[in-house]
Structure 1
Amino acid sequence: MRNEYKGSCLCGEISFSVNSFAKKVANCHCSMCRKFHGAAYATLVGVSGLKWLSGFHCLNEFVAPNGTVRTFCGECGSSIGFRVKGAPLNEIELAIATFDVDIPIQVDAHIYTDFKSNWCELQDDLPKFKAGREA
């Protein structure tokens, strides 16, 4: 049996399914993620087996000055995901809050903490990286 995890945007116009998740899942505190998600940080996860079930025509993109791409719903504005510069849509990291079901992931780090909001206190034992994950 194959796993299927479904998600959608706020208005439900965009829906998708995936069948697995990357092992590394971080809370990103960079200013672009904070602004795009309207929150202290964004939590995104790489996926495989992505299928757009509906609303593909509603996907819109914002390309930041550094070339990264933020994808959102053109109807309701929901943040859908993030791609590094030059990555195709099938390599999108999806916002975990868009999933409509429980997903088998565990956040394992905070990244770009040098850019976190002063009002956001990190009170957990997760590793904290000043920029991206360090080797």
Structure 2
Amino acid sequence: MTRAKRVGKCLCGAVEISISAAADKIGACHCTMCRRFSGGSAFMAVHGTEQIDAKGAEHIGRYKSSDWAERGFCTQCGTPLFYHLTVGTMEYFYSAGLFQNDDKDFKVNLEIFVDQKPDFYDFANAQSQRKTSEQVFQEVNE
């Protein structure tokens, strides 16, 4: 029997987010804002949908970090929850760390803003597609 959803929680458990069980691809963003948001290294995110499926939504804070996106966090414990595009696809990208009890088959398949990645870390066995900031913005504007 296949399950329908993966369930992840913030550090304190006030927010619980559900995503499709089929979601197993991780994107890693090395941009300066994502690194600041995630505490210094890449923001590792699972692609979601246009609608958020969350329990404890009253504990979700939102910060408009650019003209095209906002970032979500738990107002109780501060856990980064998502990056949400507010234009275009309107997609949510959920912090992979939320799903620690359900992440056995996650695979990093994309790294973006690789030109902003600092030298102090690298991914072992990196086999993902890699894009610079110029390539990312070029795709967005197509």
Question: For this structure pair, what is the TM-score category when the shorter chain's length is used for normalisation?
Answer: 0.7 to 0.9
Assess if the C-alpha contact under 8 Å between 1:67 and 1:85 holds in 2: yes
Aligned to 2:97: 97
Distance (whole Å) between structure 1 residues aligned to residue 65 and residue 52 of structure 2? 24
Listed as ranges, the matches of 1:28-67 within 5 Å are 28-48=29-49, 51-53=53-55, 55-67=56-68
Assess if the C-alpha contact under 8 Å between 1:71 and 1:82 holds in 2: yes
Q: How many residues align?
A: 133
Identify if the C-alpha distance between structure 1 residues 14 and 88 changes in structure 2 by more than 3 Å, giving closer, same or farther.
farther
Q: Which residue identity lines up with residue 9 of structure 2 in the other structure?
A: S
Higher mean Cα deviation, 3-12 or 96-105? 96-105
Q: Which residue identity lines up with residue 6 of structure 2 in the other structure?
A: Y
Identify unmatched segments of 5+ residues in structure 2: none
Give the SS at the match of 2:48.
strand
Assess if the C-alpha contact under 8 Å between 2:47 and 2:94 holds in 1: yes
- Offset of 1:67 from its aligned partner? 3.0
Give the SS at the match of 1:108.
strand
Assess if the C-alpha contact under 8 Å between 1:111 and 1:133 holds in 2: no
TM-score normalised by L of structure 2: 0.77
Distance (whole Å) between structure 1 residues aligned to residue 13 and residue 85 of structure 2? 26
Identical-pair percentage = 24
Distance (whole Å) between structure 1 residues aligned to residue 12 and residue 89 of structure 2? 25
- Offset of 1:102 from its aligned partner? 2.1
Q: Which residue identity lines up with residue 40 of structure 1 in the other structure?
A: S
- Offset of 1:88 from its aligned partner? 8.7
Runs of 4+ in 1 over 4 A off after TM superposition: 21-24
Give the SS at the match of 1:128.
strand
Aligned to 1:82: 83
Identify unmatched segments of 5+ residues in structure 1: none
Give the SS at the match of 1:12.
coil
TM-score normalised by L of structure 1: 0.81
- Offset of 1:81 from its aligned partner? 0.4
- RMSD between superposed Cα atoms in Å: 2.7
Q: Which residue identity lines up with residue 53 of structure 2 in the other structure?
A: K
Aligned to 2:10: 9
Identify if the C-alpha distance between structure 1 residues 125 and 11 changes in structure 2 by more than 3 Å, giving closer, same or farther.
closer
Distance (whole Å) between structure 1 residues aligned to residue 9 and residue 32 of structure 2? 24
Give the SS at the match of 1:25.
strand
